[in-house]
Amino acid sequence: MKAWLPFEWIAAWRFLREGRMQSLLIIVGVGVGVAVIVFMSALLSGLQDNLIKRTLSSQPHITLLPVEEVARPQQASAANTALRLQKNAQRLRTIDQWQTLRDRLQGWPEIAAVSPVASGPAFAIRGEASKAITVLGIEPERYNRVIALTERLTAGQLRVGAGEAVIGIELAKDLGAEVGDKLRLSVADGRSETLTITGLFDLGNKGVNARNVYVGLRTAQSLLDLVGGVSSIDLALHDLDLAEQLARRIAGETGLTADSWIKTNAQFVTALTSQRVSSNVIRFFIALSVAFGIASVLVVSVIQRSKEIGILRAMGATQAQMLRIFLLQGGIVGFFGSLLGSLLAWSLLVLWQLLARNPDGTAMFVISVEPGLVLTAAGGASVVGILAALLPARRAAQLDPVVAIRG
């Protein structure tokens, strides 16, 4: 060590060098702990991002719907005074003044994209084959910013002009249809429309691929008898985590029903939250085991070096200096352990990306290591090392030099 270094640094470094094997083992132990924390955090983050991305590949972050109509109580016959609820006739409801609302929401800083949709049930008919489907009338430029439909095309183009439609790969398989084929859509009141299939999509959801048929907004309005109206407005947000909060705000200001992806996928979100909690518990116990490892090594070091400590005290070293010597040892062990752990975690993540592959050879999911995660883990390991050294450091500082030298 350089002579210009403070006395505490020189003593701490020499104590660690004298017990090389102990120091090496505890540094490796800290490194393994840090590596597990970084690797597990990055893996879990990548997995959750992938699951959320897949879940939201076929649905908007927030969907605005007309308010449900309340069933009216109707008086029964005079002989029976009980009330019964009479449901309104089923019909597609529309959002009033949706153009104004669309333009208004587009100006909100939290909202990335707004897309009106006219949707309703219908039948897709080709030859003898018939399937129940959902017709979705969209403005493709707007809708593509909410759900990246263009990126999900497996054939053809996202073209939904007059007389054109884009269908899912499962529906195409069920009907035996391909791009360029004709498809007839029919609704309950007898209206029908014959369309040309211009594209096939795969949104990663078999049900959606078998059910959704995208057409132009005006085509859907005409087919579903929604004259100039839309049945919902889909929103994409810049921050997914704000979905529920923003949905409540929009519902309060507009009077519409606002369903966020968090509410729609409540069980999925609960599972993700539980996963995060369990991961945090595991990380806590890993950090705790690292702390106990550092503390045990330094306690042994205090016992083994009690005479040296006594001599240093007799030569004029203060209690504060002895305290700092052992705290520095803990910090040094934590620092070098965190460097080793970060390198090990990076190696494990690279190995995972090489080995964890889908059958087609593509990566199972993307794992990105945030620099903040590594810095947090490294800083945390150093802090844990210092805190773990606190007890043995106090014990070393409180040793009576005379008793320590006599041994």
CB atoms within 10 A of CB 213: 24
Question: 73 vs 142, which has greater pLDDT?
Answer: 142
Query: Looking at the predicted structure, is the pLDDT value of residue 290 above 50?
Result: yes
**What is the reported pLDDT for 332?**
87
**What is the reported pLDDT for 79?**
43
Average pLDDT over residues 343-364: 81
**What is the reported pLDDT for 400?**
73
Query: Looking at the predicted structure, is the pLDDT value of residue 69 above 70?
Result: no
Question: 182 vs 353, which has greater pLDDT?
Answer: 182
**What is the reported pLDDT for 210?**
95
**What is the reported pLDDT for 102?**
94
Average pLDDT over residues 91-103: 87
Nearest to 202 by CA among 140, 264, 156: 156
* Max mean pLDDT range (214-223, 278-287, 289-298): 214-223
Query: Looking at the predicted structure, is the pLDDT value of residue 384 above 70?
Result: yes
Q: Which residues of 107-142 are buried (b: 16+ CB within 10 A; e: fewer)?
A: eeeebebbbbbbbbebebbbeeeebebebbbbbbeb
Q: How do 212-216 and 129-138 pair as beta strands?
A: parallel
Which burial class, exposed, middle or buried, applies to 383 when counting CB atoms under 10 A from its CB (0-12, 13-18, 19+)?
middle
Indicate the pLDDT class of residue 56, thresholds 50, 70 and 90.
confident
Mean pLDDT of the chain: 85
The answer to whether residues 176 and 192 touch, using CB atoms and an 8 Å cutoff, is no
Residue 345's DSSP bridge partners are: none
**What is the reported pLDDT for 3?**
56
DSSP string, 374-403: HHHHHHHHHHHHHHHTHHHHHHHHT--HHH
Write the pLDDT tens digit of every residue in 123-179.
999 988 999 999 999 999 999 999 999 999 999 999 999 999 999 999 999 999 999
**What is the reported pLDDT for 136?**
96
Query: How close are the terminal C-alpha atoms of the chain, in Å?
Result: 29
Nearest to 41 by CA among 385, 380, 291: 380
Instruction: Report how far residue 237's alpha carbon sits from residue 16's, in angstroms, rounded to the nearest whole number.
Output: 53
**What is the reported pLDDT for 217?**
95
H or E stretch covering 359: none
Write the pLDDT tens digit of every residue in 250-271.
999 999 999 999 999 999 999 9
Domain ranges of the chain: 7-55+269-406, 92-256
Write the pLDDT tens digit of every residue in 175-201.
999 999 999 999 988 899 999 999 999
**What is the radius of gyration, based on Cα positions, of the chain?**
33
Indicate the pLDDT class of residue 71, thresholds 50, 70 and 90.
very low
- Coil, strand, or helix at residue 311? helix
